[in-house]
Amino acid sequence: MLARLTRPALPLTTATALAGALLALGTPEPAGAAVPDTIPLTVTNNSGRTGPVHLYDLGTQLSTGRQGWADANGTFHAWPAGGNPPTPAPDAAIAGPAAGQSTTIRVPRFSGRIYFSYGQKLVFELTTGGLVQPAVQNPGDPNRDILFNWSEYTLDGSGLWLNSTQVDMFSAPYAVGVRRADGSVSSTGHLRSGGYSGFFEALRGQPGGWAGLIQTRSDGTVLRALSPLYGVETGALPANVMDDYVNRVWQKYATTTLTVTPFADRPGTKYYGRVSGNVMNFTDSSGSVVTGFQKPDADSVFGCHKLLDAPNDAVRGPISRTLCAGFNRSTLLTDPHQPDTSTADFYQDAVTNQYARAIHARTADGKAYAFAFDDVGDQESLVHDGSPQQAYLTLDPLD
């Protein structure tokens, strides 16, 4: 997770991207790749809102590693040097579609984000470390009172990965899509009818402080809900909100073995976890200890970091991803074999990630990126194609 209590510099790859198929960024592009340098992205405004929409395509140019933005034609522009204090970034806004209309732009080979905002342009600044992105968990962030959201994407020689993400916040709803070489279109991210307002109603009705995640403007307009990670970090959500569940997990696996099979395509690769004191140690099939995790707090659970850090390696990272999904979905007590990929088992404990639960319950296909490793068990809202013909971003109603 990049955004923190201060407004950090890019790179523009959040834990969402790291968690899912966007890990492909680290692989070299194949020679003679069929994927073009840019592809069309059609943005359709079904929000029902009047007023201007502003679009931004920001990220890292994969061929050079430079950070910058793309204009409506897909032409890359590198950011100029920033300063300390931060200096205003060039205006990278692209005029978006009016209500009921569509706008098509071209997106280049990037690892980045497509931002969209309603009514006002977003404020971007540059430091000596790069672009400063919005971090609305900070009350002083200049974008705090703007209704906006973003989608994450990677386009490289292996194809397109495009997702809808709620890892940082739940805000203005949208869906993503891709048209394949055979003409078929795949999409994800749409909410059920009434899902937007229903999500906020669910948080308000959930005891334990979950309503504290909701941010409103001074005129009463609901803008977003922070992720529980940021809720804990800002004090909007109690820091002990997951303690009861974590304690029960630690108690159970002091006398029971937790079996983790982190790779769906390698069912023979298993690790075995047992708790000793404050640490859950994992052994491999030979009995050798391969890694261990201290008892995590809510911050570690919701962020899938710190005490549940997941390096991009072959052992600790995959185990941590599985544990993180089990904690957020509260499946660790009901199934000693993880990951549990049956959605009927998710979020059934009274202590769970209520934010993620409320989002998944209101997406049309049940898919979402509500926490960093929501792709465990293929629950993420992601479209991918190796030969993308066109991408889509649909701005949905706030109902």
Q: Residue 226 is which amino acid?
A: L
Q: By C-alpha distance, which of 87, 115, 95 is closest to 14?
A: 115
Indicate the SS3 state at residue 213: helix
Helices (H) and strands (E) in the chain, counts: 7, 24
- DSSP letter for each residue of 63-102: TT--EEEE-TT--EEEPPP--SS-EEPP---EE-PPTT-E
Taking CA atoms, 141 is separated from 17, 92, 132, in Å, by 24, 19, 11
Buried/exposed code over 107-138 (b: 16+ C-beta within 10 A; e: otherwise) = bbbbbbbbbbbbeeebbbbbbeebbbbbbbbb
Q: Which of 57, 141, 156, 168 is catalytic?
A: 168
Residues facing 149 on adjacent strands = 116
How many beta carbons lie within 10 A of that of residue 360, not counting itself?
22
Place of tokens 């994927």: 35
Exposed e or buried b for every residue in 245-266, given b needs 16+ CB within 10 A? Answer: bbeebbeebeeeebebbbeeee
- Do residues 164 and 188 lie in contact, with contact meaning Cβ atoms separated by under 8 Å? yes
Asked whether 163 and 15 are in contact (CB, 8 A), the reply is no
Query: Is 152 a known active-site residue?
Result: yes
In this structure, what token pair is assigned to residue 261?
């099979």
233 counts as catalytic: no
Which residue type occupies 99?
A: A
Catalytic residue (one of 152, 156, 299, 340): 152
Task: Give the catalytic positions in this structure.
Answer: 152, 168
